[in-house]
Chain A
Amino acid sequence: MKKLLLKRMLKSAFFVVGLLTTLFILVMVLFAPAITPYEPNQNSLTERLQPPDWSQGFDGHLFGTDNMGRDLFSRVLYGGRSSFFIAFTSTLLSAALGILLGLIAGYYGGIADVIISRLCDIFIAIPSLVMGIVVSALFGVSKINLIGVMIATSWIKYTKIGRNNVVVARSMEYVHASKVLGASSWRIMIREIFPNVTTPLLIQVSQGIGSIIILESTLSFLNLGIQPPDPSWGNMITNGRNFMATHPWMVLAPGCALMLTVMAFNFLGDGLRDVMDPKRN
């Protein structure tokens, strides 16, 4: 079984490219302090608006500098750190919340299902951007609020996964067998049903991270996310907009990083789906 999985993994171009790129980006971002000698918020009046310089290796300004003299390469890496932190935390929390609600809605049915499903319908109707703006306006801008907005927009898809799989699993005879052996509902949900949910969950998670990163960047672009001077790809693009004609690298660097990252996660998500979903034919 494992061998088959490996064979499929190697055959899927999406998976291989996605995995390698994602790993590459993660490694770069994680080891930022070791890779770049510059601090992301280190101003330098003398080094302002420098074009990209590859002659000095990592000691030079690989992506150039911005209008405050800050090294763009290091800002891209550190910005990535913030984005990933927010993306991973929110994904983890929304997945946990979503799956829990989905399991309850699916297993118990009845009023619990009605309430949770209607909540899904309500939340799905609210555009994420609007939610972000409203939350920032009401509660101010902070990392916690940002994570909150992310969770509020993403929990629904995990709930649907949980609920649909539970409804299918509920009719399986191995669930009946556990009931007849005296297992409690919770035990059945966690030990019998949940393991069958992990595959679609994993696929959804990898596909979901891409969209969360875009959402965070968009909010930061609108100055409702990560606040300057801390870098985020979104607010870097905002900052570089005024200099686009003359110093395009200020927008290109974070823009390309954003595009590459989201593409990599999407590829990984598609690849995982190809590898793990047996109904490929």
Chain B
Amino acid sequence: MSIETAKHETPLIEARNLKKYFKIPHKGMLHAVDDVSFSVYKGETLGLVGESGCGKSTVGNVVMGLHSATSGELLFKGEDVFKARRNRNHELYRKMQIVFQDPYSSLNPKKTIKKILSEPFLIQKICPKGPELDDKISELCNLVEIPAELLSCYPHELDGGMRQVVGIARALSLRPEFIVCDEPVSSLDVSVQAKIINLLMDLQKKLDLSYLFVSHDLSVVKHISNRIAVMYLGQIVEIADKENIFRQTMHPYSIALLSAIPKVIKDDNERGARIVLKGDVPSPLDPPGTCRFAPRCWMAREDCYTRPAPELKEVSPGHCVACHYYQISREMMKKAETANTIQI
């Protein structure tokens, strides 16, 4: 049963207790994704945000079948996705797609753009090469505004932004309902980033798409998402709709994450003191059974190190947090800011 009760309709995508562990020889078990559950509803974007090692990209890869899950379930409109994949059910290939991060390795350098965009139709045997295929490709190009002249070009002749547009076109070719966007704008310049974000949002409205938007950039995630999940060391520590994540942040990690982002200051006194976390972003190798954030937590108490890890609980409608002391976190935050504590 999903822990989120924000809406009462059936979610399009439902992930239940996903786990992905990697065995590292001589080192131990890497808990890349450790019991992650979430839902994505039709026409909405769930932002998945966190730093390196939190497992957000692995979640995307498991959802798309690029990694097989160690355990857990994934449902698409109620259907078991992992089972369908084992049975090579093609319907799912058309319904779920992915846009990758790196515009330089996401397109085969030896193929023209036209060839790249033809592949999905040929693989899925939707139509053979010929005028019908050409029509479908033109339609696709019009949808994302790729000028027709670029069809005969090779990827290296296009700039990063345009390559990403081609990657998006490729993902849309089979008319999916759900798209995982894995850091799609992280490698792009600021002005190009805006173009891609606008494109993704326009397409979402036009085609009623649902996105799982994975990124380390909170500002971008805030702009495009309806709901946001914050991940730390393989687990979701907080999940809420956009407004609440920013106005009513409860988990101390989310608070620190927000505080860390450099802001463009336009007026004096706009910037409060920053809460800086101690130490480095750890690796999810053989994590303890207690709270994983405690060692770096700015408001950790004695018992945070001994009590079993906090579970993700719904604390207000649609807002879930995994922290023993979430009730006082906002109060503590204000104290820390006024005391101007800077810990490095």
Contact = CB atoms under 8 A, between A and B. Distances in A.
Answer whether A and B touch in the complex at a CB cut-off of 8 Å: yes
Contact of B101 (A173, A181, A198): A173
Tell me whether chain B's interface is mostly helix, strand or loop, or mixed: loop
Interface in A188-240: 191-192, 195-196, 198
A182 B154 contact: no
A45 interface: no
Q: Chain A: interface residue count, which band?
A: 10 to 19
A130 B110 CA distance: 41
Contacts of A1: 154, 157
Most B Cβ at <10 Å: residue of A177, A183, A198 = A177
Nearest to B89: A182
A181 B109 contact: no
B105 A172 contact: yes
B104 to A, nearest CB: 9
Contacts of B326: none
B100 A182 contact: no
Given A177-B106, A187-B123, A182 B93 contact: yes
B64 A180 contact: yes
Given A181-B174, A182-B90, A174 B106 contact: yes
A183 B108 CA distance: 14
Contact of A177 (B65, B100, B124, B157): B100
Contacts of B170: 177, 181
B154 A181 contact: no
A176 B66 contact: yes
B276 to A, nearest CB: 34
A198 B110 CA distance: 10
B124 A181 contact: yes
A178 interface: yes
A11 interface: no
A140 to B, nearest CB: 44
A196 B124 contact: no
A174 B97 contact: no
B100 A181 contact: no
14 contacts: A172-B108, A173-B100, A173-B101, A173-B102, A174-B108, A176-B100, A177-B167, A178-B119, A180-B66, A181-B93, A181-B174, A183-B123, A187-B123, A196-B108
Given A182-B90, A182-B124, A191-B119, 8 more contacts: A172-B106, A174-B116, A178-B119, A181-B93, A181-B120, A181-B123, A181-B124, A182-B93
Top-8 shortest CB links A-B: A182-B93, A195-B110, A173-B106, A173-B100, A174-B108, A172-B105, A173-B105, A183-B123
Interface of A: 1, 172-174, 176-183, 187, 191-192, 195-196, 198
